[in-house]
Amino acid sequence: MPRKTVIIGGGAAGLGSAGGVKAADPGADVVVYTENEDVAYSPCGIPYVHGGEIPDFERLFLAGKQAYVDAGIDVHYETAVTAIDTAAKTVTVAGEGAVSYDQLIIATGWNYADPGVPGGELSGLYYVKNIRRAMEWDKVISETKSAVVVEAGPLGLEMVTALAHRGVETHLIDPNPYALAMMADPDIMKPVEDSWRELGVHLHFNTTLEAFLGDADGKVRAVQTSGGEIAADLVVISTHKTPENALAKAAGIKLGSTGAIVVDERMKTSAPDVWAAGDVVEIPHGLTRTPLQGLTGSHAYAQGKTAGTNAGGGDRAYRAVYVPWGTPAGKWVIGGASFGEATATALGIPYVKGEAQGISRARYYPGVQPVRVKLLAEPGTLRLIGAQMVGGGEGIKERADFLAQAIRFGMTLHDLSTMENVYSPAIGALNEPIVVAATNGVAESKKKA
Amino acid sequence: MPRKTVIIGGGAAGLGSAGGVKAADPGADVVVYTENEDVAYSPCGIPYVHGGEIPDFERLFLAGKQAYVDAGIDVHYETAVTAIDTAAKTVTVAGEGAVSYDQLIIATGWNYADPGVPGGELSGLYYVKNIRRAMEWDKVISETKSAVVVEAGPLGLEMVTALAHRGVETHLIDPNPYALAMMADPDIMKPVEDSWRELGVHLHFNTTLEAFLGDADGKVRAVQTSGGEIAADLVVISTHKTPENALAKAAGIKLGSTGAIVVDERMKTSAPDVWAAGDVVEIPHGLTRTPLQGLTGSHAYAQGKTAGTNAGGGDRAYRAVYVPWGTPAGKWVIGGASFGEATATALGIPYVKGEAQGISRARYYPGVQPVRVKLLAEPGTLRLIGAQMVGGGEGIKERADFLAQAIRFGMTLHDLSTMENVYSPAIGALNEPIVVAATNGVAESKKKA
């Protein structure tokens, strides 16, 4: 009899898991439960359809439902799992009762943190997540005059830009002194904030949400903040991602300090034959060992593949992360790896800094863009510990990938300052910005020594 | 009395050297001799002005002559050095006689290999190099009906595309079975060749140049090849780069197997107080230790900085190279690091291959481009030894830089297959093509084992 693997969740982690099981054990019986109407679409694309950069929602769908049927993966749509019994090795499925498993993979994902203020029941509060809801909200955006985006996290950044591109009077409120403060440094965000102001966005930093205010019809009309009332037809709530841990918690599966499930390098939880992947787990940072939760779809997918491979009898490890990241923001693209100065300072980690204002092509080649690179290194050894960038867009993502891998491999500023680079006018400058930043960092460290 | 450093050559290596000397020894007396009318322009930009991508030649100039005066660097323009006497520590300068030096840096660069066929004295033969000549040739191109480009090296590639963009009937002749055969693999060049054909370019591979044929006025009218005669108003000769070694050779300075000057890690030649940098030196390949000559302007500049720093009393090393490269070609951008399959096979180096056809952004994001990655690894250890890519352009240069550094640091396909990547629809896909290629390479190696 084939082994049966049950997967809870149909996002990147859940489907990555399903593929991982099938690759390791082609005969396995794989059942995926999702509360959604769909699987295999890209929720990450939603803000760009709202912003008009992507012309329609349809293209966010990756594969039809038949593709999963063909792959032997049995997806149950709009189906909630309400409990896990790790002793009986069953899950309770709404409408199906107790379903037994040989292996279980929890990929329940994340949800927005509850804003925790009065007025949460009003209509007009948009939590960007589900594609069917997004299609409906897109029509609402067309008729919206003014909107407030609550918190300048990664999704908030994208929605601020999207709403501004749609011609909506857009306000951003955030309790921190600058945008994306949990990840980025203020000098990296400065040009982004300037470009939002150019787009007409109103930025309210150091500003706390106090309440959603409604009209007689139960529709939001404003938000109350520590800095006063801001009128709004629409409120986009992009509070931080919290793990959807209710099922795991109720089942007695061990959670970590972030509230997410603790897993080992094989993505195994504390319960026998139970694995987990994606935004419901926490993964240690490669340098600080601090548990991180709420990474990207790419991380979720890779974790899912690991969990699925192991659940299917294979052997695959998923190790600590160095977190390359990047995103368009206003008219710029920002990115980095590991942490920046703000986080290093908050954690009490000393660093040497190397900075450079470089360019993406030869200075005379049309389309040349600025690329600002900031590298942080451990004093003494000059081992790279973090990086942040802001630029026109060319090569930011690839440099972030590289710098994360450079941190993982213990490369130093010396190593980066002696790195070779492609020089071809249309695609690369004589001096690679990373090399210049590293060279400046080495010089800086000598001055200090 | 300040130490006097004489530099022969005003290209990237010569000026990099001058800057290196001044940085290490600000009081140094630095004299640069160049046969050209200018220094500090980018010869690499010339094909793109010819092609119309860059609007004029003026923007290729980096700094005015005054900038060098201000920096305390004494540049003698249109001045030939005719001999070096390493015993007397003098150089013979046309019009100046014997000039003594404390330190000498040879940065005489390269020239095109002599095609070695009859008709070399005809007019209409264009060797792309000097910017003043390029300005004159650009007018000739405007009146050219048909052109032949001799050899599909890096410059030949650029000139074929440029001439086609200018509406010239363009023929490429090359003795190899495909373009850029000394560096690239045929599968990488296939889409490039297809795109040239779409532009109307006539490709003549396996075809040897036999003669330039002239008219009664001594102007070229055709080239004679092993495959017949090809009519041409203009012939662009882009034979391989040979080191300008005459001065060094006559002075008894040790040359290597490529004909270029042998230097140690500090860029020191076999003669006391004589350094060399740029296309006149050879540098070992980091894996094979094969001496390489004729690298890029970026390499020349970094070598110059090393030679200058050391000549100025500092201490700087320039190590073996892993040669990231990249260039637009037809409608594509190609690139890589170290070597490809063709070179590995020619050198008898065994390899495991990992390939992937990936994308540069989310598959649904406008502007998404193909990115094909091919990785070569040492069997057994799976250490990366080479890489080649072809794509729309996004991220090719940054990936080539990264892969060269990955080879230098001994990263394996396992390491690359477990690398994290940025996922953000506008700038990066869920799966980084390098990661997919590495994963496929690991699977391939298991099949073979």
**Contacting A residues, span 221-250, partner chain B, CB-CB under 8 Å:** none
Please judge whether B42 and A400 are an interchain contact, meaning their C-beta atoms are less than 8 angstroms apart. Answer: no
Q: What is the structure's pLDDT at B1?
A: 79
Q: What is the structure's pLDDT at B235?
A: 98
- Which residues from A are below 8 Å from B325, CB to CB? 422, 424
Cβ pairs A/B, distance under 8 A: 206
Q: What percent of chain B has pLDDT over 70?
A: 100
B265 and A CB contact within 8 Å = no
- Those residues whose C-beta lies under 8 Å from the C-beta of residue A282, and which sit 6 or more positions away, are A243, A256, A257, A258, A260, A261, A262, A263, A291, A292, A293
Q: Judge whether residue A50 has pLDDT over 80.
A: yes
Q: Judge whether residue A40 has pLDDT over 90.
A: no
Neighbours of B237 (CB within 10 A): 22
Nearest CA to A303 out of A41, A103, A14, A26 is that of: A14
The structure tokens listed for A35 are 């509360």
| Most B CBs within 10 Å, among A315, A430, A435, to test the B interface | A430
Q: What is the 3-state secondary structure (H, E, C) of B22-89?
A: HHHCCCCEEEEECCCCCCCECHHHHHHHHCCCCCCCHHHECCCHHHHHHCCEEEECCCCEEEEECCCC
Nearest CA to B433 out of B415, B409, B417 is that of: B417
B425 and A CB contact within 8 Å = yes
Q: Which domains does chain B have, with CATH numbers?
A: 4-37+77-111+241-311 (3.50.50.60), 125-237 (3.50.50.60), 325-448 (3.30.390.30)
The structure tokens listed for A269 are 């939880």
Q: Is the dihedral of CA B50, B52, B56, B59 positive or negative?
A: negative
Confidence of residue A85 (pLDDT cuts 50, 70, 90): very high
Q: What is the structure's pLDDT at A448?
A: 76
Please judge whether A411 and B402 are an interchain contact, meaning their C-beta atoms are less than 8 angstroms apart. Answer: no
Q: A335: distance to nearest CA of chain B, Å?
A: 9
From start to end of A107-218, where are the E strands?
Answer: 110-112, 125-126, 146-150, 169-173, 202-204, 209-214
Q: What is the structure's pLDDT at B166?
A: 96
Q: What is the structure's pLDDT at A333?
A: 98
Q: Judge whether residue B264 has pLDDT over 90.
A: yes
B49 and A CB contact within 8 Å = no
Please judge whether A432 and B401 are an interchain contact, meaning their C-beta atoms are less than 8 angstroms apart. Answer: yes
Q: Judge whether residue B417 has pLDDT over 80.
A: yes
Please judge whether B48 and A427 are an interchain contact, meaning their C-beta atoms are less than 8 angstroms apart. Answer: no
B297 and A CB contact within 8 Å = yes
Separation between Cα atoms, residue A329 and residue A57, nearest integer Å: 21
- Which residues from B are below 8 Å from A323, CB to CB? 420
Q: Judge whether residue B115 has pLDDT over 90.
A: yes
Give the single-character DSSP code of B321: B
Separation between Cα atoms, residue A15 and residue A13, nearest integer Å: 6
Residues A381-403 have pLDDT tens digits of 999 999 999 999 999 999 999 99
Q: Which of B363, B364, B393 sits opposite A427 (nearest CB)?
A: B393
Please judge whether A59 and B415 are an interchain contact, meaning their C-beta atoms are less than 8 angstroms apart. Answer: no
Confidence of residue A64 (pLDDT cuts 50, 70, 90): confident
Residues B171-182 have pLDDT tens digits of 999 999 999 999
Please judge whether B424 and A397 are an interchain contact, meaning their C-beta atoms are less than 8 angstroms apart. Answer: yes
Nearest CA to A329 out of A166, A177, A164 is that of: A164
| Most B CBs within 10 Å, among A267, A394, A420, to test the B interface | A420
Q: Judge whether residue A65 has pLDDT over 90.
A: no
ipTM above 0.90, yes or no: yes
Q: Judge whether residue B189 has pLDDT over 80.
A: yes
A325 and B CB contact within 8 Å = yes
Q: What is the mean pLDDT of chain B?
A: 96
Please judge whether A401 and B419 are an interchain contact, meaning their C-beta atoms are less than 8 angstroms apart. Answer: yes
Separation between Cα atoms, residue B305 and residue B276, nearest integer Å: 11
- Those residues whose C-beta lies under 8 Å from the C-beta of residue A42, and which sit 6 or more positions away, are A60, A62, A297, B362, B364, B425, B430
A425 and B CB contact within 8 Å = yes
Separation between Cα atoms, residue A307 and residue A314, nearest integer Å: 9
| Core vs surface per residue A188-210: b (16+ CB within 10 A) or e | bbebbbebbeebebebbbebebb
Separation between Cα atoms, residue B197 and residue B194, nearest integer Å: 5
Please judge whether A409 and B409 are an interchain contact, meaning their C-beta atoms are less than 8 angstroms apart. Answer: yes
Confidence of residue A429 (pLDDT cuts 50, 70, 90): very high
Sheet strand arrangement including A234-237: A125-126, A234-237, A146-150, A169-173, A202-204
Over residues B368-389, mean pLDDT: 98
Work out the angle between the directed axes of helices B396-408 and A396-408 (0-180°, nearest 10): 10
Nearest CA to A375 out of A425, A317, A414, A327 is that of: A414
Residues B36-95 have pLDDT tens digits of 998 878 889 999 999 999 999 999 987 778 889 999 999 999 999 999 999 999 999 999
Q: Judge whether residue A63 has pLDDT over 90.
A: no
Q: B366: distance to nearest CA of chain A, Å?
A: 7
Q: What is the structure's pLDDT at A16?
A: 96
Work out the angle between the directed axes of helices A186-198 and A154-165 (0-180°, nearest 10): 20
Q: Which of A54, A394, A400 sits opposite B422 (nearest CB)?
A: A400
Neighbours of A380 (CB within 10 A): 10
Separation between Cα atoms, residue B47 and residue B328, nearest integer Å: 11
Confidence of residue A62 (pLDDT cuts 50, 70, 90): confident
A40 and B CB contact within 8 Å = no
Q: Is B215 helix (H, G, I), strand (E, B) or coil?
A: coil
Please judge whether B335 and A405 are an interchain contact, meaning their C-beta atoms are less than 8 angstroms apart. Answer: no
Over residues A337-348, mean pLDDT: 96
Residues A262-319 have pLDDT tens digits of 999 999 999 999 999 999 999 999 999 999 998 999 999 999 999 999 999 999 999 9
Q: Judge whether residue A148 has pLDDT over 90.
A: yes
A41 and B CB contact within 8 Å = no
Separation between Cα atoms, residue A244 and residue A276, nearest integer Å: 12
- Which residues from B are below 8 Å from A328, CB to CB? 424, 426-427
CA torsion angle A266 A268 A273 A274 (round to 10): -130
Separation between Cα atoms, residue B354 and residue B331, nearest integer Å: 25
Q: What is the mean pLDDT of chain A?
A: 96
Q: What is the structure's pLDDT at A208?
A: 98
Separation between Cα atoms, residue A236 and residue A238, nearest integer Å: 6
Nearest CA to A321 out of A432, A391, A401 is that of: A401
Decide: A257 and A245 in contact? Cβ < 8 Å. Answer: no
Residue of B nearest to A404 (CA): B420
Let me know how many helices (H) and strands (E) chain A has, helices first: 12, 26
Please judge whether A328 and B424 are an interchain contact, meaning their C-beta atoms are less than 8 angstroms apart. Answer: yes
Q: What is the structure's pLDDT at B90?
A: 98
**Contacting A residues, span 392-421, partner chain B, CB-CB under 8 Å:** 393-402, 404-406, 408-409, 411, 415, 418-421
Residues B215-255 have pLDDT tens digits of 999 999 999 999 999 999 999 999 999 999 999 999 999 99
